[in-house]
């Protein structure tokens, strides 16, 4: 029977697993026979480190999607707790709902008062059901907007963390105004005076990501993805076959490298070898350093300058052609 750790391994990590199993076998044998195998173990560990680097430096878009969805990848709450000096979660959209798929509140980062918010997935099946797999309802986006208005009123920078396959697409979501709630956030985020830094920490999907994604700076972890639609949905629409998701992932240009080249994001945050779930502390340190650097730059500007920067940033996205 597979161990829990083994069940979380991705298909492309198999060569690494075999090496690690070999290292453990050598150690077990040395204990039984009382033989010094330190040199052999050192060589095997070096080989394993090399294989890990090779694997994670050559991931396809489809494989990056798997990494972005890894159940142990750090979540919004993980990063908030790691980078903030203190933190208090705030609840409710003041219209009768409190969507657990979006969390947010006030805190301090390096002594600076900020508002932090983002999508929150679960760690197990029960938690994922509670948080609807990070797919927010209209109430979630209205809660986020309430917190951002609070930040603007009190002059606190806004830090958002994006990690969702898409907004919730259920009947009730449409009934309670999903499209209107996201559109309202897109409009209102452009008028805010305070600095806004958005970071794609896992999966950024469709309007569900954009609902908290209008920022002066948009950062993205190296193995995260950001897309107009989940590749499975795209494949189902274009080819009527969700199994062609890897092909769709390639065509959609969902990787950080592609998106930086297209001008969608501003900075790629390097991940530890083996991705953020292999060393969450190092990932959080990298994120905090980048956020503080961008905050220093943005706080040197006036509110009007930031609004204009934000507006022009998004106006430059995309290419328009006119048919003759």
Structure tokens at 35: 């033989």
pLDDT digits (tens, 9 = 90+) for 266-306: 999 999 988 999 899 999 999 999 999 999 999 999 999 99
Query: Does residue 200 have a pLDDT over 80?
Result: yes
Instruction: HSE, CB side, 13 Å, CA atoms: give it for residue 59.
Output: 28
The reported pLDDT for the residue numbered 131 is 95
Q: Which domains does the chain have, with CATH numbers?
A: 4-58 (no CATH), 65-315 (3.90.226.10)
pLDDT for 136 beyond 90: yes
Residues of the chain above pLDDT 90, percent:
68
55-110 pLDDT per residue, tens: 888 899 999 999 999 999 999 999 999 999 999 999 999 999 999 999 999 999 99
pLDDT in tens, 111-131: 999 999 999 999 889 999 999
Residues in the chain: 324
What is the overall mean pLDDT for the chain?
Answer: 90
pLDDT for 7 equals 46
C-alpha of 255 from chain center = 12
Q: Which residue has the tokens 């790691």?
A: 82
Q: What is the pLDDT of residue 5?
A: 43
pLDDT above 90: residue 230: no
Residues 149-163: tens digit of each pLDDT: 999 999 999 999 999
- pLDDT for the residue 23: 73
Contact 120, 77 (CB under 8 A): yes
Please give the pLDDT value at position 35.
Answer: 63
Residue 10 has pLDDT above 90, yes or no: no
What is the structure's pLDDT at 37?
A: 66
Query: In 3D, which of 168, 162, 166, 136 has the Cα closest to residue 233?
Result: 166
């Amino acid at each position: 029977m597979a161990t829990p750790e083994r069940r979380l391994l991705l298909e492309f990590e198999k060569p690494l697993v075999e090496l690690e199993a070999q290292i453990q076998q050598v150690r077990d044998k040395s204990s039984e026979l009382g033989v010094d195998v330190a040199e052999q173990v050192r060589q095997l560990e070096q080989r394993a480190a090399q294989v890990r680097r090779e694997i994670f430096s050559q991931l396809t878009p489809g494989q990056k999607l798997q990494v972005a969805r890894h159940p142990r990848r750090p979540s919004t709450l993980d990063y908030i707790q790691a980078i903030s000096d203190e933190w208090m979660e705030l609840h409710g959209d003041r219209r009768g709902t409190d969507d657990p798929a979006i969390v947010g509140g006030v805190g301090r980062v390096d002594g600076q008062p900020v508002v932090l918010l983002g999508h929150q997935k679960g760690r197990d099946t029960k938690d994922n059901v509670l948080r609807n797999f990070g797919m927010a309802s209209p109430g979630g986006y209205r809660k986020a907007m309430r917190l951002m208005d609070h930040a603007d009123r009190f002059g606190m920078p806004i830090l958002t963390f994006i990690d969702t396959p898409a907004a919730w697409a259920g009947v009730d979501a449409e009934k309670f105004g999903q499209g209107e709630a996201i559109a309202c956030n897109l409009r209102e985020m452009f008028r805010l005076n305070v600095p806004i830094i958005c970071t794609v920490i896992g999966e950024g999907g469709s309007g569900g990501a954009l609902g908290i994604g209008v920022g002066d700076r948009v950062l993205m972890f190296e193995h995260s993805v950001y897309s107009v639609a989940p590749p499975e949905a795209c494949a189902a629409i274009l080819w009527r076959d969700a199994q062609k998701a890897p092909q769709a992932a390639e065509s959609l240009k969902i990787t950080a490298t592609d998106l930086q080249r297209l001008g969608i994001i501003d900075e790629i945050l390097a991940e530890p070898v083996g991705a953020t779930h292999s060393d969450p502390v190092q990932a959080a340190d990298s994120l905090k350093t980048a956020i503080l650097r961008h905050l220093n730059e943005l706080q040197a500007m006036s509110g009007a300058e930031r609004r204009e920067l934000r507006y022009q940033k998004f106006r430059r996205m995309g290419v328009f052609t006119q048919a003759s």
